[in-house]
Amino acid sequence: MVIPPDLRYTNEHEWVRVDDGIGTVGITDYAQDQLGDVVYVDLPSPGKQLSQLAVFGEIESVKAVSELYAPVSGEVVESNGALADKPELINDSPYGEGWLMKLRLADEGEIEKLLTAEQYSDFIEREAE
Amino acid sequence: MTDQPAAGTLRRTSLHDEHLLLGARMVPFAGWEMPVQYAGIIEEHQAVRRAAGMFDVSHMGRFELIGPEAAALLRYVCTYDMTRLSPARGHYAVACRPDGGIMDDVYVYCLAEDRYLLVANASNAGKIRGWLRQHGRRFRVEISDRHTSTCMIAVQGPQALERLARVLEPDFIKPLKPRACGEIEWENAFVFASRTGYTGEDGLELVSSAAAGPRLWRALLDAEVLPCGLGARDTLRLEASLLLYGNDMDETVNPIEVGLGWVVTTDDGADFLGREALLRARESQLQRTLVCLKAQERGIMRPGCSILRSGRQVGKVTSGSHSPTLGGSIAMGFVPPELAAEGTELIVDIRGKPLPVRVVPRPFYKRPRAAEERNA
């Protein structure tokens, strides 16, 4: 299971990468593997204000539906339009082309409340037991 | 004996180790630990639509009925007149309660005039065993539970027969017409095969001794048959509009409401469980009927979603998923008969969001059939 060391994680299996005040958000490799083939994702429109750990959308695989949680508070600036026609990008490239949305962080300090790669790795190990 | 294992323990099929070797994701299903997927549901689904896939269906109940009145017992517990079956033929039916409610949907195969195989749903195996034994007392028949002593593998897809012919004797497979069945010796084991399935594709369902199961499974893997899990089995059967017990029917549903009137034989005049109730159901106006729905926008219908018309709830989705073959979401659900016409526009409530859907013809997916099959 790939867990890039430079990202921060929620215990709902989202990741966030912060660059110049903009956070890119997706789901982890572990999450996409657990879900199976993703066939539909419902994402927020730009302008939507989210608070940390608020539900921002839904992701559906053939078998299951899951809610998506915002790792940090902020305003949505973009959602990944490519996923409408190719939701399988989430399975193929969860940390790359399968990203979900970008938001402008309201409070960069919130990052510190998220799990590091090492903590997330421990977390999914415990969850698998 | 009981089918319900102690809390927390799940039964395993004789192919369990094979699934683990293949990296399957195992899930609890009807008291059994079963593979839900190996490579991925969509890849497995496409393999069955385009080439050949196989499913461990050993969790399904299997009962052998032997005796001069085996056919008479089957006539009494099944809605279809199984006395019409000639040896080496099979037929689908439902077993009903006296009030017409569906106990289970079953497949019955006639092996000889006094020997039959009945295949029941995993979730109903214990109930059906009790039902057969209870009603079997009045008939000269011996009922043997083959759930543990045998395993069952369904091999399905347009290439299924061709690939099976690399494993089993081609001269045995070739004459098997749709719904036909037979037995053959394979590597010192007996294999029962029927040209039936639950995917909408051609193929065979095989039953062998549990001991020979892993060998047979591996031989099929070598013949390039892709292992498929319960996830793909569900999307395949839904595209083919094949009903799932527990979703699309249960003891509160009668076969007429779900379009299974064709497996209810009443013209032979014989008595069977549910006969009076089903005759009444046939003559009276249906309260609800099962229809096929296709989503007109993005969003996925799931079992339990409400079906709305003009803002009022008119029914419920019983089965729903993404359709890999058609794209988008498909579902089956109950609606009042006046809303069952093809093209009727309805709304399905997806966790508070309205999804426009349309009633479409049944089945969603029909495979191109060879001439010999149409004439069978």
Q: CATH number, domain at B158? A: 3.30.1360.120
Q: Are B158 and B234 within one domain?
A: yes
pLDDT tens-digit readout, B288-308: 999 999 999 999 999 999 999
Q: Are B215 and B292 within one domain?
A: no
Residues 6+ apart with CB under 8 A from B56: B13, B15, B18, B19, B34, B35, B151, B152, B153, B217
**Residue B83 domain-assigned (yes or no):** no
- CA end-to-end span of chain A: 15
Crossing angle between the packed helical segments B125-136 and B70-77, to the nearest 10 degrees: 120
Task: Round to whole Å and give the CA distance between B109 and B360.
Answer: 32
pLDDT tens-digit readout, B190-244: 999 999 999 999 999 999 999 999 999 999 999 999 999 999 999 999 999 999 9
**Residue B52 domain-assigned (yes or no):** yes
Q: Diameter of chain B by CA atoms?
A: 64
**Residue B71 domain-assigned (yes or no):** no
**Does residue B2 surpass a pLDDT of 70?**
no
**Does residue A110 surpass a pLDDT of 70?**
yes
Q: Are B53 and B154 within one domain?
A: yes
Average pLDDT over residues A90-105: 98
Q: Do A60 and B41 touch (CB under 8 A)?
A: no
What is residue A127's predicted lDDT score, i.e. its pLDDT? 83
Bridge partners, residue B118, by sequence: B63, B108
What is residue A128's predicted lDDT score, i.e. its pLDDT? 77
Q: Are B232 and B299 within one domain?
A: no
Q: Do B300 and A36 touch (CB under 8 A)?
A: no
pLDDT tens-digit readout, B355-365: 999 999 999 99
**Residue B254 domain-assigned (yes or no):** no
Q: Which residues of A touch B (CB under 8 A)?
A: 36-37, 39-40, 42, 58, 60-63, 65, 84, 88, 91
pLDDT tens-digit readout, B4-16: 555 569 999 999 9
Q: Are B199 and B301 within one domain?
A: no
- Select from A37, A40, A61 the Cβ nearest to the Cβ of B299: A40
What is residue B184's predicted lDDT score, i.e. its pLDDT? 96
Cα torsion B369, B372, B373, B375: sign: positive
- Residue B340 domain boundaries: 286-360
Q: Are B233 and B304 within one domain?
A: no
Q: In chain A, whose CA is at the least distance from the CA of B298?
A: A40
This complex has an ipTM of 0.82
Q: Which residues of B touch A (CB under 8 A)?
A: 25, 36-37, 40-43, 231, 234-235, 298-300, 302, 321-322, 324, 351
The count of domains in chain A is 1
Asked if B183 and B111 touch (Cβ cutoff 8 Å), the reply is yes
**Residue B126 domain-assigned (yes or no):** no
**Residue A129 domain-assigned (yes or no):** no
The count of domains in chain B is 2
**Does residue B56 surpass a pLDDT of 80?**
yes
Cα torsion B128, B79, B63, B20: sign: negative
Residue B374, classified by CB atoms within 10 Å of its CB into exposed (0-12), middle (13-18) or buried (19+), is exposed
Q: Are B162 and B223 within one domain?
A: yes
Last-in-domain residue among B239, B254, B271: B239
- Residue A47 domain boundaries: 8-123
Q: In chain B, whose CA is at the least distance from the CA of A42?
A: B299
**Residue B268 domain-assigned (yes or no):** no
Q: Are B54 and B159 within one domain?
A: yes
pLDDT tens-digit readout, B117-144: 999 999 999 999 999 999 999 999 999 9
What is residue B1's predicted lDDT score, i.e. its pLDDT? 40
What does the mean pLDDT of chain B come to? 95
Residues 6+ apart with CB under 8 A from B195: B176, B177, B178, B179, B180, B181, B202, B203, B204
**Residue B24 domain-assigned (yes or no):** yes
**Does residue B370 surpass a pLDDT of 80?**
no
Structure confidence at residue B3 as a pLDDT band (50, 70, 90): very low
Kindly report the number of other CB atoms within 10 A of residue B130's CB atom: 12
Query: Which among B278, B235, B236, B233 has a CA at the least distance from the CA of B258?
Result: B278
The vertex-B319 CA angle with B254 and B45, nearest 5°, equals 125
At B304, which CATH number? 2.40.30.110
Last-in-domain residue among B175, B205, B239: B239
Residues 6+ apart with CB under 8 A from B250: B101, B102
At A100, which CATH number? 2.40.50.100
Distance of CA B89 to the CA centre of its chain: 17
**Residue B64 domain-assigned (yes or no):** no
SS3 B160: helix
Average pLDDT over residues B263-283: 96
pLDDT tens-digit readout, A18-58: 999 999 999 999 999 999 999 999 999 999 999 999 999 99
